[in-house]
DNA sequence: GGCCGGGACTTAAACGTTTAAGCCCATTAT
DNA sequence: ATAATGGGCTTAAACGTTTAAGTCCCGGCC
């Protein structure tokens, strides 16, 4: 690999001049400028990002870590998210360093190590929660980061989030328009901030419609298929006048659990029980029936967190520092009252 | 951030001594050694990986790029793959640099840029194909890489692959044991090397069983749901004595297309038409019926490609340089002759 | 004609490490 | 007693850049 010295020698100038030409700084005559560029071209020279990094005390790397899903769950947004981040980063000469986050126990240690060894210039966090220790640590040491997701409202830090409350409100309103009144919500445990926001959207939309929420309609579970399945079975044992006619699940995976439980109980998804998911995983369109779901603008989130972070790294506070994007309700047959075909359980 | 100079000053020694202590090289007395370690501890010093990289002419970074899926397809293995690579890399002090591969057109350019700017010490390739230009380029410039997937058999380079032929053979044998004789294969276009291997496994297993393959049983399509759906419709129009009773699809996505088309035609999946997928996506277990599928040992592939690459980067040819791992057939209801419940289309 | 300004370049320090080479001194061998 | 050995440390070069400071020379101004 040729270095800047080789270029300088071949062009008959000093390395400084070469550097000035390459960075468009300093004052260089057009003649030498051309000679230098010619030498660069002939040698196929490219500056070493490591040497540059040492000099500038920056790595032009963005760290991103996530927690792996359990084998029976799926992460429908990871691929698109990483991809949009990497694209946006590349446009500014940055790259994404992806690293796993083993156990949550030593989570902060992993961040600390990256910070102290100068591996990255900043971080993207996802899956933040209330009083997130990673956010706290990075705020304390003053290291640049942007979060996909909110945390403690009293902490001032840059984030981008998808307005889950708005999304669920859209879903409720859609179901209301279809005539549903007994709408259930399959929510997450109380310690999930994202779950809180989404559930809040549900309660607000119901209240706005003047509907009282039967406590039995809200069930909180971890994000597992089998929990959703069982929760649905519980709903179906309610007396007919309290039994939900529609369910909003906070995950496509849970929505699938709802659909399967209902189908197994002989209900037609759509006419007998409307189901809405969240995330619009690629699979949703191929389910029977296709699942109505809330699509998050993941590509835009990835793009924005990265450009905000690069602002931050380069010393300017991103503006705006907090961004709330709206999800979009993708309507499919799982919330149609009269689908022309239905897919139900049949005993053989 | 404290540097090695700060440590040296505080310990009252030269920077060289500090370096010797930290790297366990040179000869240092136990007394100074302790003093240095104490200073390191007190200052919270950690060596800069950038400076180390400049000195050692290495970045301790592994580049990995992949092509984003179209929005209506999904990549069931990406998350697990990146995760296992990053884990294995971290164990050796390496990190994974993830970057998107925009259009295949300038694909090699992206690799070239990373190579020439010293960004990474080596690459992991996936989705390699016959005469893959990336493989060719990296071989030509002599840059370290390991591929997940094979390419031109005449090219000698390190790879790890999953034995698709063996997987499909397992699937065929499983179907044969169930009594199936007319087994179809929903394959990929001819230019896909992975598709070739898998299809070859199908032909071999059928030949071993003494069964002739009706040309109509093999349909090649791109990896899209709708193509699988249409292919299945074509099979179902065959006369009863030529109509397949089982289908092996090279992707879970295509298997879903097969299942839905068959269900829409009034067939019971399992008894009337057995279906096998490939990849064992997390969703497969929740489909109705749950889909029999071939699970690739992705975590092991990720782990092996990385350790092989690190061997290579450190100057030793990995041994073995080519690894072929076997997939495992996960048997579910989509290949059971007498499932107790069945999920079919019903007109309302 | 001398001085000043500034354009065009070079010199050299700096970034934070590693490591070959050198130095000093105590110990051992001759 | 002197030379050789080697342990324990320091010095300094090197990695490939950037950039502040310095040098040189030419043209314009008084």
Same domain, B59 and B126: yes
Same domain, B206 and B249: yes
B contact test, residue of A283, A299, A345 with most B CBs within 10 A? A283
> Distance between CA B162 and CA B256 in Å, rounded?
22
| Domain encompassing residue B215 | 164-296+328-335
Contact A203, A183 (CB under 8 A): no
Domain assignment present for residue A348? The answer is no
Same domain, B170 and B291: yes
Using CB atoms, pick whichever of B46, B71, B253 lies closest to residue A117: B46
Of B283, B284, B318, which Cα lies nearest the Cα of B303?
Answer: B318
Does the CB of B320 have a partner CB in chain A at under 8 Å?
no
Same domain, A67 and A38: no
pTM (two decimals): 0.93
Same domain, B148 and B97: yes
Domain assignment present for residue B344? The answer is no
Same domain, A6 and A41: yes
Q: To the nearest whole number, what is the mean pLDDT of chain B?
A: 94
Strand order in the sheet with A159-162: A322-325, A159-162, A145-148, A122-126, A61-66, A95-100, B95-100, B61-66, B122-126, B145-148, B159-162, B322-325
pLDDT, tens digit (0-9, with 9 covering 90-100), for B299-330: 999 999 999 999 999 989 999 999 999 999 99
Same domain, A140 and A40: no
Domain assignment present for residue A172? The answer is yes
Residue A340's pLDDT is what? Answer: 52
Strand D, CB < 7 A, residues 42-61 of A: 45-48, 51-52, 54-56
Using CB atoms, pick whichever of A100, A118, A225 lies closest to residue B49: A118
Q: What is the CATH number of the domain that holds B35?
A: 1.10.260.40
Cβ partners under 8 Å of residue B289, min gap 6: B269, B270, B332, B333, B334, B336, B339, B342, B343
Residue A343's pLDDT is what? Answer: 52
Q: Hey, which residues 102-121 in chain B have their CB within 8 Å of chain A?
A: 102, 113, 116-119
CA distance B49 to chain A (A): 6
Q: Hey, which residues 232-251 in chain B have their CB within 8 Å of chain A?
A: none
In chain B, the number of structural domains is 3
Q: Do B117 and A49 touch (CB under 8 A)?
A: yes
Same domain, A241 and A92: no
Does the CB of B27 have a partner CB in chain A at under 8 Å?
no
The phi, psi pair for B263, rounded to 5°, reads -60, -40
Chain C: bases < 7 Å from a protein Cβ: 7-12, 14-21
Domain assignment present for residue B341? The answer is no
B3 touches strand D (CB under 7 A): no
Cβ partners under 8 Å of residue B68, min gap 6: A79, A80, A83, B100, B101
pLDDT, tens digit (0-9, with 9 covering 90-100), for B122-171: 999 999 999 999 999 999 999 999 999 999 999 999 999 999 999 999 99
User: In Å, what is the separation between the CA of B305 and the C1' of D11?
Assistant: 43
Helix (H) or strand (E) holding A139: helix A133-141
pLDDT, tens digit (0-9, with 9 covering 90-100), for B262-273: 999 999 999 999
Same domain, A291 and A199: yes
Residue A348's pLDDT is what? Answer: 45
Same domain, A184 and A105: no
Same domain, B209 and B305: no
Q: Do B90 and A97 touch (CB under 8 A)?
A: no
pLDDT of residue B342 exceeding 60, the answer is no
Q: Where are the beta strands (DSSP E) in chain B?
A: 61-66, 95-100, 122-126, 145-148, 159-162, 183-187, 218-220, 246-249, 274-278, 292-295, 322-325, 328-330, 341-347
> Distance between CA B255 and CA B243 in Å, rounded?
17
Chain D: bases < 7 Å from a protein Cβ: 7-12, 14-21
HSE value, Cβ hemisphere, 13 Å, CA-based, for A147? 24
Cis peptide before B276, with omega less than 30 degrees from 0? Answer: no
Q: Hey, which residues 168-207 in chain A have their CB within 8 Å of chain B?
A: none
Same domain, B171 and B115: no
Of B241, B235, B237, B190, which Cα lies nearest the Cα of B216?
Answer: B235
pLDDT, tens digit (0-9, with 9 covering 90-100), for B38-64: 999 999 999 999 999 999 999 999 999
pLDDT, tens digit (0-9, with 9 covering 90-100), for B71-110: 888 888 999 999 999 999 999 999 999 987 777 677 898 8
Using CB atoms, pick whichever of B46, B86, B342 lies closest to residue A99: B86
Q: Do B79 and A83 touch (CB under 8 A)?
A: no
Mean pLDDT by 10 residues, chain A (348 residues): 95 96 94 96 96 95 91 88 94 91 79 91 95 95 97 96 98 98 98 97 98 98 96 97 97 97 92 96 93 97 98 93 98 84 50
Domain assignment present for residue A347? The answer is no
Residue B71's pLDDT is what? Answer: 81
Reading phi first (left if > 0) and then psi (alpha if -120 to 50, else beta), residue B302 is in alpha
Contact B297, B325 (CB under 8 A): yes
3-state secondary structure of B214: coil
Q: What is the CATH number of the domain that holds B153?
A: 3.40.50.2300
Domain assignment present for residue A284? The answer is yes
Domain assignment present for residue A214? The answer is yes
Q: Do A83 and B76 touch (CB under 8 A)?
A: no
Cβ-7 Å neighbors of strand C:
A 12-17, 20, 26-29, 31-33, 54-55, 57; B 1, 3-5, 15-16, 19-20, 22-23, 25-26, 45-48, 51-52, 54-56
Which nucleotide comes closest to A27 if you measure CA to C1'? C8
Average pLDDT over residues B279-288: 94
Residue B347's pLDDT is what? Answer: 47
Using CB atoms, pick whichever of A48, A80, A348 lies closest to residue B268: A348
Does the CB of A18 have a partner CB in chain B at under 8 Å?
no
Contact pairs from chain A to chain B, CB under 8 Å: 179
A contact test, residue of B58, B119, B137, B283 with most A CBs within 10 A? B283
Contact B228, B186 (CB under 8 A): yes
B contact test, residue of A286, A289, A296 with most B CBs within 10 A? A286
Domain assignment present for residue B340? The answer is no
Residue A7: CB atoms within 10 Å: 26
């Amino acid at each position: 690999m040729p270095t800047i010295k080789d270029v300088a020698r071949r062009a008959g100038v000093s390395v400084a001049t070469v550097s000035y030409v390459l960075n468009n700084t300093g004052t260089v005559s057009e003649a030498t400028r051309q000679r230098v560029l010619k030498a660069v071209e002939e040698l196929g020279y490219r500056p070493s990002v490591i040497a540059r990094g040492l000099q500038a005390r920056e790595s032009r790397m963005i760290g991103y870590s996530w927690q792996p899903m359990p084998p029976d769950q799926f992460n429908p947004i990871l691929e698109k998210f990483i991809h949009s981040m990497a694209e946006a980063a590349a446009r500014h000469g940055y790259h994404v360093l992806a690293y796993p986050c083993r156990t949550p126990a030593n989570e902060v240690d992993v961040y600390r190590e990256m910070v102290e060894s100068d591996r990255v210039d900043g971080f993207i966090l996802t899956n933040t929660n209330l009083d997130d220790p990673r956010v706290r640590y990075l705020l304390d040491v003053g290291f640049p980061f942007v979060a996909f997701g909110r945390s403690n409202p009293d902490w001032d830090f840059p984030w981008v989030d998808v307005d889950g409350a708005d999304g669920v409100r859209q879903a409720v309103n859609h179901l209301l328009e279809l005539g549903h009144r007994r709408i259930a919500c399959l929510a997450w445990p109380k310690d999930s901030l994202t779950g809180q926001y989404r559930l809040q959207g549900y309660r607000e939309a119901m209240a706005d419609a003047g509907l009282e929420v039967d406590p039995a309609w809200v069930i909180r579970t971890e994000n597992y298929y089998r929990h959703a399945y069982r929760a649905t079975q519980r709903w179906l044992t309610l007396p007919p006048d309290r039994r939900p006619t529609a369910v909003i699940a906070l995950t496509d995976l849970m929505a699938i659990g709802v659909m399967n439980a209902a189908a197994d109980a002989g209900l037609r998804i759509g006419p007998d029980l409307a189901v809405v998911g969240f995330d619009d995983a690629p699979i949703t369109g191929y389910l029977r029936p296709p699942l109505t779901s809330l699509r998050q603008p993941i590509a835009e989130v990835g793009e924005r967190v990265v450009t905000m972070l690069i602002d931050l790294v380069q010393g300017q506070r991103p503006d705006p520092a907090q961004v709330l994007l709206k999800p979009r309700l993708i309507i499919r047959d799982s919330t149609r009252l009269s689908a022309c075909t239905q897919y139900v359980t049949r005993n053989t």
